[in-house]
Amino acid sequence: MFDVLVYLYETYWRPDACPDQAQLRRKLSAIGFETDEIQEALSWLDGLAVAAQSYHGEQGAESLRVYSPLETEHLGEDSVGFISFLESAGVLPPPMRETVIDRAMAIPGNPLDLEDLKIIVLMVFWSLGEEPDALILDELFVAPEDRLIH
């Protein structure tokens, strides 16, 4: 599923630039993605579209997020830490954070892989038509062992 999401991010600059679902299914299938993987990704994107509609971009007041035991178990320590990092860096306002958590909770398996969470964050930015700044893109795309240390 995440391969399909990354392909969509790299190919279409915004969700509304994607073809309709029937045409998109055919295109993804022709590229070589499996039918189940396509269905799972498109269903997940439908949920993202619903969540994005409720996002209004308000920064809001400072908010404290307390994770439920189910969320903590599902997200895992690394993912919760990464979400906190993005919040403290000022790039993930509370409404966007909640969208990320909602979409992360929709992914089966415990704990969520940190690399999968990074794709989810990227897709949330994409769905809102926002581009993260260069430093955040570096955090989302470059593996720590591949970073140049000056």
Q: Is 89 helix (H, G, I), strand (E, B) or coil?
A: coil
| 95-129 core/surface letters (b: 16 or more CB in 10 A; e: else) | bbbbbbbbbbeebeeeebeeebbbbbbbbbbbbbe
Residue 129: DSSP 8-state: T
Q: Is 53 helix (H, G, I), strand (E, B) or coil?
A: helix
Round to whole Å and give the CA distance between 110 and 112. Answer: 5
pLDDT of residue 74: 97
- As a whole number, mean pLDDT of residues 20-49 equals 94
- Of 142, 90, 101, give the one whose Cα is nearest residue 124: 101
pLDDT tens column, 66-87: 999 999 999 999 999 999 999 9
